[in-house]
Homo-oligomer: A and B are copies of this chain.
């Protein structure tokens, strides 16, 4: 259900926000112009897709992005189209495909 979860722009933006750091439901909701219950429903979809983890923290519920799940799903897709997906910050030295590099 990952792609279904990603089909909504609000949910994609939520994931993007969670990329920066874990955030509570309320904190996330503050970024959008829809009601809290609507946001809660979006969170539920993301949870069911296993794209986020939620943890109770006092009064709040803190959501955290599960990067590996997102990456795995995306990887399956991009690979089928002949693309490589890699961390932009990865150290390119000594990678598997390294060879005959000039300069």
Contact = CB atoms under 8 A, between A and B. Distances in A.
Q: Which bracket fits the contact residues of A?
A: 35 or more
Contacts of A79: 88
B89 A12 contact: no
Contacts of A83: 71, 74, 85-88
A67 to B, nearest CB: 8
Interface of A: 3-4, 6-7, 9, 12, 15-16, 19, 67, 70-71, 74, 77-89, 92-94, 97-103
Q: Which 9 A-B pairs have the closest CB atoms?
A: A7-B7, A101-B101, A84-B88, A3-B7, A4-B7, A82-B88, A83-B85, A16-B80, A84-B86
